[in-house]
Structure 1
Amino acid sequence: MAVSFGWKFSDRGMMSDSVASRTDTAERRSFSRFERALTLATAIAIGLTLVPESPPLTTTGVIALLLVTLFACRRRSPAVLRMVLCSDLIAFLFTLYVYAGWPPALITTSFVVVPVAAGVALHRLGRLRPVAPWLKWGPLAPVTIALFVTTIVASVAGLVLWTLTADADVSEYLGGLRYAPPWQAVAAIVGFALVNAAWEELLFRGVLLTELVNTWGLRAALVIESITFGISHANGFPSGPVGVVMALAWGYLLGVIRMRTGGIGYPYAAHVAANTTIALLAYLYI
């Protein structure tokens, strides 16, 4: 079975560079420069919005998203509208955490429930289809299996190395759980690993990457998506410039896996492994 999102993918993986380049060029011609600019602006804006503990960046990102939304509504491009709608929902929920002090667990769960509910509604109404062609596992070729395993091993090793060498207090990440009963700590770690990975894959490797590939082509889309992912993790775990670079590189690898398999299932599994590592390091680190 072949899956097409700019480049052509099959069970054997990517096509040759020359064929893929021609496919990229042909499919991008159907989108104007204005539409490509809107998808790029949306990606950057949602990346800025989601930077943790940085209200000025969140405000800047939200304002940019509002402006992009106005232009997108006038343009009425399905690819742009799908991307903007999901980003707007995530941004709105994030502002409830930043400005209204809503509980992080509630907001994180809403990041999954609200966009999915909106997608189901749009699909049933026949609007903006296809809404979520990436919501699947997809096939795994041998080279993709190797990349999948390598990504998990590299991310776990990188997180452990950063924790041991960085001059940072990692106890602030889920650190309060060390004083909770073991069953509560386990439940929180599992919940964080599963839910946080779900909404980030839904947004970054699902909606954003798909529509960026549709409008920009695969090469540029992978770069834009990974940069956006890195920006959004500026104050995350790991943090700082090193954390941004690590998240950027990791986001790129997850994007490649997503495009090779045609779905977000395997990127999600790799993401859960990394999130579990982060939670355990934050919980156990002294």
Structure 2
Amino acid sequence: MATAITTTKNRTPLGVTAGAVGLLLVNSLAVQLAGTWQVAAGASTTVLLFVLAWACRGRWDAATDLVLALGALSVFGWVSAALTGSWAGTLPVAVAFLVVNAFKLSSVALLAVIAARRRWSRENLLIRVGSLNARSPVPLLRWGLLGPIVIVAVLVLFLSDPAVLAKAGPGTVRLVLAWLPVMLAGAVVNALCEELLYRHALIGTARPLLGTAGAVVMSCAVFGAGHITGSPGGLTGVLFTAAYGAVCAAAMLQNRGMAWNLVIHVFGDLGAVSALLIAAG
């Protein structure tokens, strides 16, 4: 029988948690390094996180769970860098989006093994459909209405970018439809992987240590830093992605499942990759 994520009766110094999260945040800057150094820095971070988890086991089980989740999350970046090198940049935008994000499955596979070995509960990780119309943080709005509003707002935000509007023309719809199956596949893979890694696993394992608010803040910080080279990138991208992560976290926690946060993320990714496709066209 599956067991719940270890609760706060097994306490750990906040320094262990802060050190593990800080290590992953610093590792997010490694994407700025040359390929070989990026892989070395990423792999070293993974090793250090798993060594830290091993050191915590038996003494601070709650910390072990969180550090293991962070360790699994740290894998896909350097695996992708090692296996794609520079050739991914020569692929069409939609294909590159699918290929690069498919490497996140390596982290999800490792996370699944860890969850089975640690006997994590799907109930605690909220890995289920959940409600579709729970109360939202916006007064008088439930997620049944707020979810579609968020989706439309994000799509408008991406597709109204000046670089996109400058390239839009009679063939834009035809271009997007031609690549839609590939973009949709990439969006589903990426959204599923990122929601499991950044939301369900991180928040689920961090709540016993940091509380719900602290777990969400930590998750958003890691999610934002992990997209420093995303679209948009830089500080703007980090802040936008962190805020987007907060919306997805609220959808997950308030609906107690993954239906809305997954759907919102899929459409957000579709908007982002469609904008890149049009701007490059």
1:229 aligns with 2:223: yes
1:66 match: 47
| Structure 1 residue runs without a partner (length 5+) | 7-26, 171-177
Quick one: distance in 2 between partners of 1:66 and 1:232? 18
Paired amino acid for 1:32: T
CA 1:58–1:205: 2 relative to 1, 3 Å? farther
Q: Is the 8 A contact 2:102 2:189 kept in 1?
A: yes
1:159 aligns with 2:127: no
Quick one: distance in 1 between partners of 2:71 and 2:107? 11
Give the drift of 1:235.
1.0
Superposition TM-score, scaled by structure 2 size: 0.72
SS in 1 for 2:118: coil
CA 1:78–1:152: 2 relative to 1, 3 Å? farther
SS in 2 for 1:236: coil
SS in 1 for 2:119: coil
Quick one: distance in 1 between partners of 2:188 and 2:63? 28
1:138 match: 130
Quick one: distance in 2 between partners of 1:114 and 1:60? 17
1:32 aligns with 2:31: no
CA 1:182–1:148: 2 relative to 1, 3 Å? closer
Q: Is the 8 A contact 1:137 1:263 kept in 2?
A: yes
1:209 match: 203
CA 1:165–1:45: 2 relative to 1, 3 Å? farther
CA 1:282–1:89: 2 relative to 1, 3 Å? same
Q: Is the 8 A contact 1:49 1:59 kept in 2?
A: no
1:98 match: 81
1:24 match: none
1:119 aligns with 2:121: no
Quick one: distance in 2 between partners of 1:229 and 1:250? 9
Quick one: distance in 1 between partners of 2:18 and 2:155? 30
Correspondences of 1:74-85 after superposition (within 5 Å): 74-76=55-57, 77-85=60-68
Q: Is the 8 A contact 1:45 1:65 kept in 2?
A: no
Quick one: distance in 2 between partners of 1:109 and 1:191? 10
Number of equivalent positions: 248
Give the drift of 1:68.
3.2
Give the drift of 1:137.
1.8
Deviations 1:184-242 (A, max 9, x none): 72232111111111111111111111112121001111111111111111110111221
Q: Is the 8 A contact 1:138 1:262 kept in 2?
A: yes
Give the drift of 1:59.
5.0
Give the drift of 1:47.
4.4
Q: Is the 8 A contact 2:155 2:271 kept in 1?
A: yes
Superposition TM-score, scaled by structure 1 size: 0.71
Q: Is the 8 A contact 1:108 1:196 kept in 2?
A: yes
Q: Is the 8 A contact 1:52 1:233 kept in 2?
A: no
Corresponding residue to 1:128 among 114, 118, 131: 118
1:45 aligns with 2:27: no
Quick one: distance in 2 between partners of 1:210 and 1:122? 11
Quick one: distance in 2 between partners of 1:267 and 1:51? 27
Percent of pairs with identical residues: 17
Q: Is the 8 A contact 2:45 2:74 kept in 1?
A: no
Give the drift of 1:86.
4.0
Give the drift of 1:85.
3.2
CA 1:70–1:52: 2 relative to 1, 3 Å? closer
Q: Is the 8 A contact 1:41 1:68 kept in 2?
A: no
Q: Is the 8 A contact 2:158 2:272 kept in 1?
A: yes
Quick one: distance in 1 between partners of 2:275 and 2:74? 28
Give the drift of 1:122.
5.0
2:91 match: none
Quick one: distance in 1 between partners of 2:45 and 2:110? 25
| RMSD (CA atoms) | 3.6
Q: Is the 8 A contact 1:42 1:68 kept in 2?
A: yes
2:213 match: 219
